[in-house]
Amino acid sequence: MSDPNVLTPEAKAAVAAAVAVLPESLTAGEAIAAVPQLAVLNAHLDAAAAFPKARLGIEMAAYGRLRPATADEAPTKVSRAYTWVSVIAFVLALAAPALIMTGRNGRAFDPLVGALPSGILMAVALALFIWLEPRRTSNPLYRGGNFGAPMFVFVAAIWAVGVFIVLGAIQDVVAYPEAIVGLVLQFVSTVGSVILAVAAFRHDRERPMWAGGRKPRIGVPADVAATPEFQAAVDQGLLQWRRQVYQASTRDERAALLAAELEAIALLHDRGSLTAEEFDSALERVRSRADWR
């Protein structure tokens, strides 16, 4: 049995206060089940500080496993054709400004000649990106990290370079109607890519990779939280969390946690919540968990 003197006076007082607020109506089994959590939160400062976020994560994970996904939230597996269209759209997005960027060195189109085909390719690429967007986060390319919202920022940037190249010859452009149309297409496509990037960043936040394409929920509905299945899942998650706390703790911290449990059990016995037999059983239960301390 652990020496209760390893508990600091502050920790001992915190354990006593926590036991005091446990409802008298709790059964012996319920009171004993509350002891490990009570000990961790009152005898381990680092664990107590991390607990709110840890519990939220455990609850959200349990909610994600238990609740059925609605039709608009369920991740949709995209076809191979969808993936190939994604690649084609990106290639077109790169090729569009390249038509006139290379032209600056005399290897391809002059900006005046290339403005229209460049603008058309930008418009086609943008149309494909818009069509692809609703299912982009279910795309294997997205899960690989190469088809996220920053891609649209990059596309807008290189398209803007193409626009400036054509604008550099604006005095000649005004004499060529097709070049003017191309410049307009380039400008509109660049602005459209910026707008699409804003929408894509929102989609990335709503449907992160770890959620498998589902929108995460902040908080758990009361009707779900009240179900036995949810409570069991949370209890199992908290058990795993406590094991991690114990395994990451120092020898002195583990001794303090054990002493806190023994102190709490003794206080429960003293206030009449546990019979002598239940008290002995609780002590045996504490000893039985020593293998993962």
Candidate from 13-17, 78-82, 121-125, 181-185 with smallest mean pLDDT: 78-82
Distance CA 122, CA 127 (A): 9
The pLDDT, as a whole number, for residue 210 is 40
Candidate from 41-45, 73-77, 261-265 with smallest mean pLDDT: 73-77
The b/e string for 155-185 (b: 16+ C-beta within 10 A; e otherwise) is bbebbbebbebbeebeeebeebeebbebbeb
The yes-or-no verdict on residue 222 having pLDDT over 80 is no
The pLDDT, as a whole number, for residue 67 is 65
Q: What percent of the chain has pLDDT over 70?
A: 84
The pLDDT, as a whole number, for residue 130 is 94
Q: How confident is the model at residue 158 (pLDDT cuts 50, 70, 90)?
A: very high
The pLDDT, as a whole number, for residue 144 is 60
* Average pLDDT rounded to a whole number, residues 151-163: 93
Q: What is the DSSP string of 119-163?
A: HHHHHHHHHHHHHHGGGGGGSHHHHTTSSSTHHHHHHHHHHHHHH
The b/e string for 26-64 (b: 16+ C-beta within 10 A; e otherwise) is eebeebbebbbbbbbbbbbeebeeebeebeeebbbebbb
Q: How confident is the model at residue 219 (pLDDT cuts 50, 70, 90)?
A: low
Closest Cα to residue 208, out of 151, 149, 132? 149
Q: How confident is the model at residue 66 (pLDDT cuts 50, 70, 90)?
A: confident
Check: pTM over 0.85? Answer yes or no: no
Residue 102: what are its φ and ψ, rounded to 5°? -70, -25
* Average pLDDT rounded to a whole number, residues 188-195: 95
The yes-or-no verdict on residue 251 having pLDDT over 50 is yes
Per-residue model confidence as pLDDT tens digits over 67-100 = 654 444 445 567 888 889 999 999 999 999 988 8
The yes-or-no verdict on residue 1 having pLDDT over 70 is no
The pLDDT, as a whole number, for residue 145 is 64
The b/e string for 215-226 (b: 16+ C-beta within 10 A; e otherwise) is eeeeebeeeeee
* Average pLDDT rounded to a whole number, residues 207-228: 61
Per the model's pLDDT, the better-predicted residue between 248 and 137 turns out to be 248
The pLDDT, as a whole number, for residue 283 is 83
Per-residue model confidence as pLDDT tens digits over 108-147 = 577 788 889 999 999 999 999 999 988 887 777 876 667 8
* Average pLDDT rounded to a whole number, residues 44-54: 90
